[in-house]
Structure 1
Amino acid sequence: MIAYIKEGRVVELLGHMNSKRTIYVVLVTMVATLGGLLFGYDTAVISGAEGSLQTYFADNLNLSPFIHGLTVSSALIGCIIGGLISGFFANRIGRKFTLIIAAVLFLLSALGSAYPELLFFEAGDPSVALLIVFNIYRIIGGIGVGLASAVAPMYIGEMAPPNIRGRLVSLNQFAIIFGQFVVYFVNWGIARGETAEWVDTLGWRYMFASEAIPAALFLLFLLTVPETPRYLVSKNRDDKAMKILSRIYDQTMAKATFYEINQSFDKRKEKLFAYGKLIIIIGILLSIFQQFVGINVALYYAPRIFESMGAARDASLFQTIIMGAVNLIFTVIAIMTVDKFGRKPLLIIGSIGMTIGMFGVSALAFSGTIGIATLVFIIIYTASFMMSWGPVVWVLLSEIFPNKIRGQALAIAVAAQWAANYFISSTYPAMIEFSGGLTYGFYGLMSILSALFVWKFVPETKGKTLEEIEMGLKK
């Protein structure tokens, strides 16, 4: 990479990057993507346990579908909290140590959700108090997810060179989908060949406990990675920042990049809306649309949807593995194209595909036709999301906010995302009971609106440094 100074600012020309340095960046950012893997694992583990939780808690205690929906979605309350506090922790203790806190919360939640009776209750005796404790453990895990969902892409975005930043941040989404795929496989493996009674009594506990393994690995690997140069500059630790930049770039480019970063962190403190309200609103709406298109309904309730098509419990869990494999393939397509085609084209193409998928499911629901066609439309919908709105929104959120307000602005956007996620997933059981056709039609309508929003308001950030994007906002 070559850099030169022109008209008082650093201009970056993207060229050949030393393969050794590229490997270093990839390895470091791969550790951060484990936060994405746990994000996916924690949010999707509920898909296999959801039916058992209804039997163990809701049916035994005669609770309403609404209460069950709140239980399935309780982790999202923690996600909102984690998203809101992520900026504070990322700015105060750093990106790395915030991720370490998230890893500890993942580990605690995995063990507590698997055995909420510990210390205070008797195993096999469900009660409202036990249900509350279970939800508290899920909320703790949700806080970890909220922290990781904001800080992992922030960490990657601040470490990665601009010419591969889109791909590396998209790897975080790949890790999310891979985490979901792994847990679909784990859930199926646990339930395979077992009776429904065993799954409803013990199987769901093993599903939650399995998360402890990746959580422990995430915690250990985090101890080996550095803090980001941009955070270090913000704390006047310039020598350490320069040392890390020198491992990413050659000496000339490292100095030029340091100059750009240092210029963006002048002595003045910037208020949240110093760059205008529009960029904050765009970040929030990107997050809301990512959830209002209904993706987490497909992820959280996939086994139930497949059971409604006539599949047995273990067969429905196996079908989620197929869906997870499709999701992985199309996420790879996004990784391969996001730095080539740009962010906006992928989002618009994905919105069109999601519209076709959801309106197809809606039409079949209205006609009362449940079968292989439903599975096809669900796959069209999820594949379209995974090649666009899944990874690309995280890429944009890691890019569009200026250095001095990134932690604060990203925290607001991520909190909005999890609030939207909670609203959509917790209302699904009641909505589907009222009308399946209208429910899926609503998600299709949101897909149309998401395309119009991107076309009109979202900026293209492909190939620009974070500081160049910031300079564009100032103009």
Structure 2
Amino acid sequence: MAPPRWRGSLTAGYQFFLALGVLIANLVNYATAHASWGWRVSLGLAGAPAVAIFVGALFLTDTPSSLVMRGRADGARAALLRVRGPDADVEAELRDIAKAVEAARRGEDGAFRRMATRREYRPHLVLAVAVPMFFQLTGVIVLAFFAPLVFRTVGFGSSAALMGAVVLGAVNLGSLVLSTFVIDRYGRKVLFMAGGVQMVVCQVAIAWIMGAKIGKGGEAAMAHPYAVAVLVFTCLHTAGFGWSWGPLGWVIPSEIFPVDIRSAGQAMNVSIGLCLTFVQTQSFLAMLCRFKYATFAYYAAWVAVMTVFIALFLPETKGIPLESMGTIWVKHWYWKRFVHDRKQSNVALT
């Protein structure tokens, strides 16, 4: 039996190792906080992953599309089997890749143009934008970056704030590991919505506590029990993200894009996410200073919107082979108006 598709997804692994890296960084910050040269260690060690990435890039293997383009069909089949599992049936996907390569050679529309102009790719285009956007607007990314500052704001000392960031990173990593046991058991939409509800409740609770106990001007000190409550709700918020949106934000794009537009879809997913990460990290401090506790209500509102969006517009992809996704779009109450003319046997969704 082939392993679940998401476990073979390199993009889902990206989220796991990102969480691991954040935890390690927080541990280093905490360990070197009392040394005058500690900040140099924290900054200098950031170069170690960069070196590892550079060396690892030298050993990257060719993609199946690249191998097919150079006439190495057997090599492409072997590459797909390494990703999908030794018992997976990759022949249909290999044929789709061959068709996409042949279409590119004939000068047909590229993947980006097909997504942008063809009606049958409308659901893919919408989700390619919406999923990474909502992924970032959960607020988890900026909370992970600025956790020590948030904890200092609610009354923790410097060391306690750094330890709070360590706890937050550990919770995120642990919840991502937990997701490996539930993601293929309960389905994608259930986890999306359950995690969304959990994050909304926690963000509203954080906003209420900070608004009621810090004061409008931020001068009043927060009592320690309330500061601990903020830490607890922040951890619960991160846990809700870690076992739902954390992995699923990467898994869903790998499951919904057909082969002929997968490169464009994945490129949009990653680039939109990284651009929003940059925007949020540059604007979060200004938001926190100006809006204070309302910053968390802002993120709670976005999580509520994205939860409703998922409930309405994302089809369940649990256990659905890539070659059968066409039938899922046809049956969806909204997207069927765009793909209603497709046949069930249309593997490539073209």
Structure 2 length-normalised TM: 0.79
Separation in structure 2 between the aligned mates of residue 233 and residue 296 of structure 1, nearest angstrom: 38
1:246/1:454 Cα in 2 relative to 1: closer, same or farther (>3 Å)? closer
Q: Percent identity?
A: 27
Alpha-carbon distance between aligned partners in 1 of 2:135 and 2:199, rounded to the nearest angstrom: 11
Give the counterpart letter for 2:17 in structure 1. Answer: A
Instruction: Kindly provide the CA deviation profile for residues 17-73 of structure 1, in whole angstroms up to 9, marking residues without a partner as x.
Output: 5xxxxxxxxxxxxxxxxxxxxxxxxxxxxxxxxxxxxxxxxxxxxxxxxxxxxxxxx
Partner of 2:313: 457
For 1:320 and 1:272, the matched residues in 2 are separated by 40
CA distance in 2, matches of 1:321, 1:260: 45
Change (3 A) 1:411 1:256: closer
Query: Equivalences for 1:311-322 in 2 at 5 Å?
Result: 311-322=156-167
Q: Which residue of the partner structure matches residue 177 of structure 2?
A: 332
Cross-structure match for 2:237? 381
Aligned to 1:216: 51
1:429: which partner in 2? 285
Distance between the aligned counterparts of 1:250 and 1:306, measured in 2? 48
- TM-superposed CA distance for 1:377, in Å, is 1.1
SS for the counterpart of 1:267 is helix
Distance 1:251 1:262, change over 3 A: farther
1:392-426 deviations in Å (ceiling 9; x for gaps): 01111222222222222322233322333333332
How far does residue 456 in structure 1 lie from its aligned partner after superposition? 0.6
Please list, as runs of the form range in 1=range in 2, the aligned pairs for 1:409-420 lying within 5 A after superposition.
Answer: 409-420=265-276
Q: 1:242-391 maps to which residues of 2 (within 5 A)?
A: 242-245=77-80, 253=89, 255=91, 258-259=94-95, 261-263=97-99, 265-267=101-103, 269-270=108-109, 271-273=114-116, 274=118, 275-369=120-214, 370=222, 371-391=227-247
One-letter amino acid of the structure 2 residue matched with residue 172 of structure 1: Y
Contact kept? 1:284, 1:417, Cα under 8 Å: no
Q: Which amino acid aligns with 1:190?
A: T
Task: For 1:403 and 1:465, locate their aligned partners in 2 and report how far apart those are by CA, in whole Å.
Answer: 12
The superposition leaves residues 431-463 of structure 1 with CA deviations (integer Å, 9 ceiling, x where unpaired) of 222232211111111111111000011122222
Specify which of 25, 29, 35 is matched with residue 183 of structure 1. 25
What is the CA deviation profile of residues 110-147 of structure 1, one whole-angstrom value per residue up to 9, with x for unaligned ones?
xxxxxxxxxxxxxxxxxxxxxxxxxxxxxxxxxxxxxx
Task: Provide, for residues 264-302 of structure 1, a one-character-per-residue CA deviation record: whole Å limited to 9, x for no partner.
Answer: 655363422333323211221111111122112211110
Q: 1:250 to 1:413 in 2, by over 3 A?
A: closer
Q: Which structure 1 segments of 5+ residues have no match?
A: 1-15, 18-162
Q: Secondary structure at the match of 2:240?
A: helix
Residues 257 and 412 of structure 1: CA distance in aligned 2, closer, same or farther (over 3 Å)? closer
Q: Deviations along 1:213-263, whole A, 9 cap, x unmatched? A: 233233334444532324423554313213434656558945565345435
- Rounded Cα–Cα distance in structure 1 between residues aligned with 2:210 and 2:257: 41
Partner residue of 1:440 out of 290, 296, 300? 296
SS in 2 for 1:301: helix
Q: Which residue of 2 aligns with 1:402?
A: 258
SS state at 2:289 partner? helix
In the TM superposition, residue 385 of structure 1 has moved relative to its aligned partner by 0.8
Residue type of the alignment partner of 1:388: S
Unaligned segments of structure 2, at least 5 residues: 215-221, 330-338, 343-350
CA distance in 2, matches of 1:388, 1:455: 14
**2:64, 2:80 within 8 Å by CA — same for their partners in 1?**
yes
Aligned length: 308
Residues 312/247 of structure 1: CA separation in 2 closer, same or farther (3 Å cut): closer
The AA in structure 2 aligned to 1:435 is: F
Q: Distance in 1 between matches of 2:265 and 2:196?
A: 25
CA contact (8 A) 1:233 1:261 kept: yes
Is the Cα–Cα contact under 8 Å of residues 164 and 231 in structure 2 kept in the other structure? Answer: no
Shift of 1:209: 1.5
Contact kept, 8 Å, 1:166 with 1:462, in 2: the verdict is no
Q: 1:438 to 1:403 in 2, by over 3 A?
A: same
Could you tell me how far apart the structure 2 residues matched to 1:250 and 1:300 are? Answer: 39
**Is the Cα contact below 8 Å between 2:93 and 2:323 reproduced in 1?**
no
**One-letter code aligned to 2:141:** N
| Paired residues for 1:104-253 under 5 Å | 163-169=3-9, 170-191=12-33, 193-194=34-35, 198=36, 202-245=37-80, 253=89
**Secondary structure of 1:464's aligned partner:** coil
Q: Which moved more, 1:354-363 or 1:304-313?
A: 304-313
CA contact (8 A) 1:245 1:254 kept: yes
- Aligned to 2:103, the other structure's residue is in SS state coil
Match of 1:392 in 2: 248
The CA deviation string for residues 308-366 of structure 1, in whole angstroms up to 9 with x for no partner, is: 23322233212211111111111112122222222211111111010011000000111
Aligned alpha-carbon RMSD (Å): 2.6
Please give the secondary structure, in 1, of the residue aligned with 2:32. Answer: helix
Distance 1:252 1:396, change over 3 A: closer
